[in-house]
């Protein structure tokens, strides 16, 4: 099986559309949508786009899906107060037919990839979709999470920065972010089988920013400016994430 891993789309429909064109050209058998499809300007449209793309798609829960489901259920999402309007706006977008669908997404998926073997896909870590680790996190802190899995490959996301590292005998690869990269602009994803191949799709950033600004999404201008046109640097985000490493529910 040949797989495209698309993580952290965040309702950035223009980025997703561009990536799917490259995914189709790569002739994959399956897409794994690795969480955080939602909370972004066109979340409903992003889900619909994946459902209608003509390629088998396996979804897993990200922390943003969990937050939106909490909002819809009347629970207080585990997000900073400043983020709550975005959660509410996304809940308004997907209420109805997509709620039951998202509620049925698992937290992890295992699939067998050509020439690689069994791979586990998760969002944050295998135990918690909201847990942060990076390429700099000490291996000794990670081995209790990854050694018991007994798989050659784990694919994750959540921190929006690609990396490829070893944790014991496990290769751990971060797919980066389709819709909100930290680092150079573009859309990051992974092509899996027979190798592990990081991909970056370039798309019309100015046109995408215009569509996002017209979406009616709260903070659309900020999303267009800082998630599409000029994302924060990976170095800056690594510094910020260091204080939150492996804190569950952070």
Domain boundaries, the chain: 3-242
Residue 103: is its pLDDT beyond 50?
yes
Burial 209-232 (b: 16+ CB within 10 A, else e): bebbbebebbbbeebbeebbeebe
Query: Could you read off the pLDDT of 170-182 as tens digits, one per residue?
Result: 999 999 999 999 9
Question: Which whole number is the average pLDDT over 49-54?
Answer: 97
> What value does the mean pLDDT of the chain take?
95
Question: Which whole number is the average pLDDT over 147-167?
Answer: 97
36 in the Ramachandran plot: left (φ > 0), alpha (ψ -120 to 50) or beta? Answer: left
d(CA 134, CA 25): 30
Question: Which whole number is the average pLDDT over 132-141?
Answer: 96
Question: Which whole number is the average pLDDT over 70-99?
Answer: 91
Query: How would residue 248 be classed by pLDDT, with cut points 50, 70 and 90?
Result: low
- Which fold would CATH assign to domain 3-242? Purple Acid Phosphatase; chain A, domain 2 (3.60.21)
């Amino acid at each position: 099986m040949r797989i495209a891993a698309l993580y952290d789309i965040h309702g950035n429909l223009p980025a997703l559309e561009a990536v799917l064109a490259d995914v189709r050209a790569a002739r994959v058998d399956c897409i794994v949508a690795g969480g955080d499809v939602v909370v972004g300007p066109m979340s409903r449209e992003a889900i619909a786009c994946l459902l209608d793309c003509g390629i088998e798609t396996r979804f897993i829960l990200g922390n943003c899906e969990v937050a939106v489901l909490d909002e819809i259920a009347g629970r207080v999402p585990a997000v900073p107060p400043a983020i709550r309007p975005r959660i509410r706006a996304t809940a308004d977008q997907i209420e109805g037919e997509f709620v039951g669908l998202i509620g049925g997404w698992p937290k992890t998926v295992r699939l067998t990839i050509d020439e690689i073997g069994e791979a586990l896909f998760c969002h944050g870590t295998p135990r918690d979709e909201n847990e942060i680790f990076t390429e700099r996190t000490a291996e000794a802190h990670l081995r209790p999470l990854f050694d018991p899995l007994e798989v050659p490959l784990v694919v994750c996301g959540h921190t929006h920065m690609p990396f490829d590292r070893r944790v014991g005998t496990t290769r751990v690869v971060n797919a980066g972010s389709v819709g909100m990269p930290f680092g150079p602009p573009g859309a990051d994803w992974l092509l899996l089988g027979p190798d592990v191949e990081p991909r970056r799709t370039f798309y019309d950033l100015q046109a995408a920013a215009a569509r996002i600004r017209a979406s009616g999404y709260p903070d659309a201008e900020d999303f267009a400016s800082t998630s599409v046109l000029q994302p924060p640097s990976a170095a800056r985000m690594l510094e910020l994430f260091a204080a939150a490493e492996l804190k569950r529910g952070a």
